[in-house]
Structures are given as structure tokens and as C-alpha cells.
Amino acid sequence: TAQVVSSNEFDPNSTPGNNSPTENDQAQVVITPIQRADLSVVKTVDLATPRVGDNVKFRIALNNAGPSDATGVVVNDLLPSGYTFVSYTSTSGLYNSTSGNWTLSGSVINGKTEYLDIVAKVNPITGTANEYRNNAQVIASGQTDPDSIPNDGLGDDFSTVTTVPTALIDLSLTKSVDNISPSAGSNVVFTVRVSNAGPSTATGVQVRDVLPSGYTIVGATPSSGTYTNATGLWTIATIANGASAVLTVTATVNATGNYTNVAEIVAADQTDVNSTPGNNILTEDDQDQVTISRGPLVDLSLTKSVNNNTPIVGENVTFRITISNAGPSEANGVVVTDKLPSGYSFVSSAPSVGTYNNISGSWTVGNLANAGTATLDITAKVLPTGNYNNIAEVTGANEVDSNSTPGNNDATENDQSEVVITPIQSADLSVVKTVNITTPKVGDTVTFTIAVKNDGPSNATGVVVKDMLPSGYEFVSASPTAG
């Protein structure tokens, strides 16, 4: 307010110094001051490099540098897609996780700092731009800020924090087999299942499943990726959170060898929460093994001999067949076949165990213990002609043989043996000579008959009969039936 307070002359319409606002010697101006509040935001996080699945805590510190108290203050902190809201605490007001708005109560007093703590879970990495960049800014205030404008993404009332999460996975592996006690020579199917409990997608996954010496691979079928028989390496590009991949491996069970089949995850691009790929620790859930109990196994071998390799036709020879079991199991249902070929005639047999049927040639041995031996003697007559190759072979057994197959007629296997004799041919020749006139007169013609007989058993060849007439006779003629 301003007024004239004194004057030497008389003022006709006002009195100096009387403080009368109605007089024209007094005037007043009223201003309306603009309130200012210098708000600033600082945002921090307690873990800059969290693992996927971890909780992190963001702290938003709102400071009022005045000079006025701030009213109607709203700070926005809407979590990006890389996080899931868990909880919050604040020193003032309420936080809405859906809108991201922190609405402060009453006034933020000049010189005071209010805090909002937001706990969030780190989501799996998707590659979306700025998915882990978390911004906080003042979007509303009842007072003017001297150095920033609310909600413009600039100035000291805006703050941002970006975490760099480590992708986290939880891979587990199980292995099974369709037959835990197969016989040697049969096929088994191993199933390997790799599961990812997340929370991230697993990439660059490799599983090693090398068949040990007790198996021979037949084939492999992965549900995804590729399997290399030579290295036993199964490569899987990706396994999503909650997904699985399956590998089936078909193998033949060998007669001997190592039957413990181990499968292990040996590589992955991400960190596993509870196991280390390729460290060969069976107690971890990324490794599993299966051991089969191979069925009974025998090793039957057979030898055959003869007591005379060069018999005379018509003589008897004795063949001896010896069967042995090198185990390790007892052999059951053992049958040996030794059917005499056409060059022999059966005479008798003498098995040490079981029975021999000379018609079928089957020697039913039955059971033969580990390290056991049985013999069969067959006596036969050597015929003049025919096949003299006598073969004996194991043709039946309930158990798998480690190095031969019964009844396959493979001379290179040790369950088959052959004996060949070289018979000496024999012919029993006799001569009978008769004359038609025993008391002839001089000058008569007499006829001599010479009969040559072969009582075998072989045909006689190169036979020459000599009949030289003495001086008392004069040759007239001859009439042979042969020669």
C-alpha cells in the first residue's frame, strides 16, 4: 500500500496520512505468489545382475528441495515386462502396481525424502527391448518445479535402473530301459528324458549317452535335435520352460561287456539352479544310469573224433562227440544232431547222458552244468559207397550262447565239428572151376567153366583171372561173360 502522508498545501479531496483507501491519495497492489517445490527422484536396485527367478528390490527416493511443501504429488513406476510385481512398502501414500502410480499422502515437506520400495520377481529373458529397464518419474505435483517438468521423461524428477539378469534353468534327466533282464542277443530300448523346470528357456543343450561295451547300437530316435551314434551326443537346440525332450536308443545286448548305461547333460547355455553339466556326479538330477541284468549265458562247444580214419569197407568205426559248457550259466534243453550220412550204417550208440535217436540223429543231452562235459559214442559200419563226411552240431539250447548260434550250420563256429574218413575198399573174390566131361576120350572137346564171385563188400576192379591150358589140351574157343 502507498499513500501521501504529508503536503504543505491543502488537498481538496483527501487528507494525507489518514490511511483511507477510498481517497485518491492512497493505492494498493495485491500479488499472488507461485509456490515452488524442487522435486527429484533417485531410483536404485539391490541386485544389478540377478538370476532369472530371483526377487529384486527397487527403491524410489523422492526428495523435496523446496522451498515450498509439495502437494498432490504422484510418482509413476510401472514395472516393465521383465518383472512381476511381488510387494511394496512406502513411507507415504499408496502404490498401485497395475497403473504404477505412487500417490503420496498430504504434503511432501520441504527438505524431506519419501521412499517407495518395490519387490519384483525377475522374469525369463525374452529379448524384448528394454524389458528390464525400470523408470520412475514425477508425473504430478501441485507446485511448480524450478528445474523439471512432470512426466516429460527428463530432468532430475526422472530416474531409471536397468538390471542384467542371468538366465536360469533347471534341467533334469531320467533314463529307463524296457527290459531290465534281457537275454544276450536280444534288443532293448533305452529312453532318455530331459525336462526343463525353468524359469528360462534352455538353449544349446547337449546330452551324452555313449553305449558301453555290453551293447551294440541299432538306432536312435530323438523327439527333437540330433543324435550321433559314434559320439553318443544328443544335441537339442531349445527346451522351453516346462517342456521335455525324449531320446529312444535301441541296442542289442552283447554276450559280455559293461551293462551300465549312463546319460548326462554335458552342456547348456544357461546356468542350472542345482547341477553342473558334464561333472559326472550321479547324485545330481542331470545324470542318470541304468544297469541291466543280462539273462543266462552259456558257451557250448563240440568236438568230434573217430577211432579209425582209414577203415576197411565193411569194418565198424566209432565216432565220439564231446560237448562242453564253458558257462557261466548252466545250459538247459541241449540237443546235438549227428545224423549218419549215407556212407555208414548205424550199429549202436552210447551216450554218457541223455538219449540218442539214430533215425533223427538227435542226441537229447538235457542239462549241462557250467564246466560240464558229456559224450556220445556212435558205432557205425563203413559202407562201400556214400558220403563219409560226418557232421555233428549243437542244434538246441534254452540259453543264449556267447559265440555261436545253435543249428545255423556254420562250420566256423565252435558248436559244430566234422570228421571225414577215407575207407579202404575190400572185395572178397573166389574162383570155382568145373568141366562138363570129367572122363573124355582123346579127341573129344571139353568145356571148362570158370566162375569168379565177389562177396564184397566193395566192387572189385582190375580183376584178372589166369587159366593157362596145360599141354594135354588144345585151345578151341572161349566165351567170357565179362572182359
Written as nine digits, the cell of 315 is 569194418
The answer to whether residues 90 and 70 belong to one domain is yes
- What is the model's pLDDT at position 275? 96
- What is the model's pLDDT at position 367? 97
The answer to whether residues 356 and 268 belong to one domain is no
Domain harbouring 175, CATH code: 2.60.40.1530
Q: Residue 177 in contact with residue 212, Cβ under 8 Å?
A: no
Q: What is the pTM of this model?
A: 0.58
In one letter, which amino acid is 110?
N
Mean pLDDT across the chain? 93
State how far the alpha carbon of 10 is from the alpha carbons of 6, 22, 23, 25, 167, in Å.
Answer: 10, 18, 14, 13, 93
Residue 460 has pLDDT above 80, yes or no: no
The answer to whether residues 20 and 64 belong to one domain is no
Neighbour count for residue 468 (Cβ, 10 Å): 4
Residue 30 has pLDDT above 70, yes or no: no
- What is the model's pLDDT at position 316? 98
Q: Residue 355 in contact with residue 365, Cβ under 8 Å?
A: no
Average pLDDT for residues 100-108, to the nearest whole number?
Answer: 97
- Greatest mean pLDDT range, 185-189, 463-467, 473-477: 185-189
Domain boundary (402, 420, 438) is at 420
User: In the chain, what are the helix, strand and coil shares in percent, each to the nearest 5?
Assistant: 0, 50, 50
- What is the model's pLDDT at position 325? 97
Q: What is the pLDDT of residues 249-287, one digit of tens each?
A: 999 998 889 999 999 999 999 999 999 999 999 999 999
Residue 124 has pLDDT above 70, yes or no: yes
Rounded CA-CA distance 153/133 in Å is 13
Residue bearing the bigger pLDDT, 119 or 13: 119
Nearest alpha-carbon partner for 192 in 221, 218, 161: 221
Length of the chain: 483
Residue 362 has pLDDT above 70, yes or no: yes
Q: Residue 292 in contact with residue 180, Cβ under 8 Å?
A: yes
At 42, the pLDDT band (50, 70, 90 cuts) reads very high
At 31, the pLDDT band (50, 70, 90 cuts) reads low
The answer to whether residues 385 and 446 belong to one domain is no
The answer to whether residues 188 and 257 belong to one domain is yes
Q: Residue 110 in contact with residue 3, Cβ under 8 Å?
A: no
Average pLDDT for residues 397-424, to the nearest whole number?
Answer: 94
The answer to whether residues 435 and 404 belong to one domain is no
- What is the model's pLDDT at position 411? 96
The answer to whether residues 129 and 24 belong to one domain is no
> Which residues are within 8 A (CB) of 242 and not within 5 positions of it... i.e. 6 or more apart?
196, 197, 198
Task: State what percent of residues in the chain have pLDDT above 90.
Answer: 75
Q: Residue 271 in contact with residue 265, Cβ under 8 Å?
A: no
Q: What is the pLDDT of residues 286-301, one digit of tens each?
A: 999 999 998 888 999 9
Burial state string for 354-392 with b = 16 or more CB within 10 A and e = fewer than 16: bebebeebbbbbeebeeebebebebebbbbeeeebebbb
The answer to whether residues 282 and 325 belong to one domain is no
Domain boundary (117, 137, 162) is at 162
Domain boundary (391, 420, 449) is at 420
Average pLDDT for residues 336-354, to the nearest whole number?
Answer: 98
The answer to whether residues 179 and 286 belong to one domain is yes
Domain harbouring 157, CATH code: 2.60.40.740
Residue 197 has pLDDT above 80, yes or no: yes
Number of domains into which the chain is organized? 5
The sign of the torsion formed by the CA atoms of 296, 323, 374, 325 equals negative
The answer to whether residues 402 and 312 belong to one domain is yes
Residue 25 has pLDDT above 90, yes or no: no
Written as nine digits, the cell of 407 is 543249428
The answer to whether residues 158 and 230 belong to one domain is no
Residue 455 has pLDDT above 80, yes or no: no
- Residue 8 structural domain: 1-30
The answer to whether residues 210 and 254 belong to one domain is yes
